[in-house]
Amino acid sequence: MVQSPVPLTLTPESMQIDLVGKDGVLRHMTYAKDGFASLTYKTALPPKMPDGTAPAQDLYWPLAIRLRAIEPAALPVVAMRISIKASDERGRMLTASRLVPIESYTQKTHLLFPFRGKGIILQAGAMNGGHRNRSGEYAFDGTGLDDAWSPVKPGDGKNNSDYPGFGRDIIAPADGRVVRARKDRPDQPVGDESNPEYYAAEYKRGGDPGNFVVIDHGNGEFSMIAHFESGSLKVDVGDKVTRAQVLGKLGHSGDTDSPHVHYQLQSGPDWEYSDALPCQFDNIDQKVLDRGSYFEAK
Ligand SMILES: [Zn+2]
């Protein structure tokens, strides 16, 4: 929302959102100071331009927000007007307002959720408990459950092997070609902890995907799948993969606080700077998956 050529500390004060139709405002929402503050974040990555290149001059994002909202289709929303107030270190008030056009997106690739069997969504996109980075706006963290729908063996949950999802086969969501792969990362040794000591050097501030792949589906859509079990990833950059092919195993590598798989559909090969794309899965009945959704993937 705010970018600056110099480092700047801004305190969120309030935010107004208007859902705008052809003839005027359809709905108005106000976020008070604490509500607004909880939606802002500091990116752990240096800013880059949409094509992945570095900006011509230094660029800082002192106030970034990602919003995810579900509105009735009956409301003919064509744009959102987002207006914010923030204060600087000297208490001066800053205001900014931006009209954001609303577009609809039709998913092109028929996707499988990347594992089969019983599972739960641990967190989903922005405003759904996590993933407020640009390409992760619609991402899912999912883990496998046992036959009684439990995420851990009774009374345990310290070791990775206590999680019934750990080691489950991770499958290719659709045909494609591997364009990025990382397979050298260790698993977090304790099943219910995220210890920064196990993050790669470049992700010491968080956001480490651990062992991961990006698959190009050939139509402007790319699947990014992360946190594979150490040593389990079987594919390399350049490999062709087919829908449902086993890629590796659900693991606990990178910035993860329990064994799970991270899945997101994105617009390019670089998860760091691609746009997020919304998606649904052929092998799960529910079309909306949110934090806490139980599912059985066929
Ligand atoms: Zn995730």
Q: How large a percentage of the chain has pLDDT more than 90?
A: 69
pLDDT mean over 253-265: 97
**Of 265 and 74, the one with more pLDDT:** 265
Q: Tell me: pLDDT of 257 over 70.
A: yes
Q: What is the DSSP letter of 115?
A: S
Q: How confident is the model at residue 44 (pLDDT cuts 50, 70, 90)?
A: low
Q: Tell me: pLDDT of 58 over 90.
A: no
Determine the residue type at 252.
H
Q: How confident is the model at residue 50 (pLDDT cuts 50, 70, 90)?
A: low
Distance from Cα 131 to the centre of ligand 1, integer Å:
6
Q: How confident is the model at residue 73 (pLDDT cuts 50, 70, 90)?
A: confident
Distance, CA of 80 to CA of 29 (rounded, Å): 11
Q: Tell me: pLDDT of 51 over 90.
A: no
Distance from Cα 139 to the centre of ligand 1, integer Å:
7
Q: What is the pTM of this model?
A: 0.88
Distance, CA of 272 to CA of 255 (rounded, Å): 15
Distance, CA of 71 to CA of 217 (rounded, Å): 30
Distance, CA of 199 to CA of 257 (rounded, Å): 12
Distance from Cα 203 to the centre of ligand 1, integer Å:
14
Q: How confident is the model at residue 45 (pLDDT cuts 50, 70, 90)?
A: low
Distance, CA of 267 to CA of 276 (rounded, Å): 6
Q: Tell me: pLDDT of 238 over 80.
A: yes
Q: How confident is the model at residue 74 (pLDDT cuts 50, 70, 90)?
A: confident
Distance from Cα 169 to the centre of ligand 1, integer Å:
17
Q: How confident is the model at residue 187 (pLDDT cuts 50, 70, 90)?
A: very high
Q: Tell me: pLDDT of 297 over 80.
A: yes
* 8 A C-beta contact, residue 183 and residue 253: no
For 118-152, give one letter per residue: b (16+ CB within 10 A) or e. bbbbbbbbbbbebbbbbbbbbbbbbbbbeeeeebb
Distance, CA of 59 to CA of 52 (rounded, Å): 14
Distance, CA of 296 to CA of 16 (rounded, Å): 39
Residue 237 token pair: 């950059």
Determine the residue type at 277.
L
Any idea which of 102-116, 152-166, 247-261 has the lowest mean pLDDT? 152-166
Distance from Cα 126 to the centre of ligand 1, integer Å:
11
Q: Tell me: pLDDT of 184 over 70.
A: yes
Distance from Cα 263 to the centre of ligand 1, integer Å:
7
List CB-based neighbours of ion ligand 1 within 5 Å.
141, 262
Q: How large a percentage of the chain has pLDDT more than 70?
A: 97
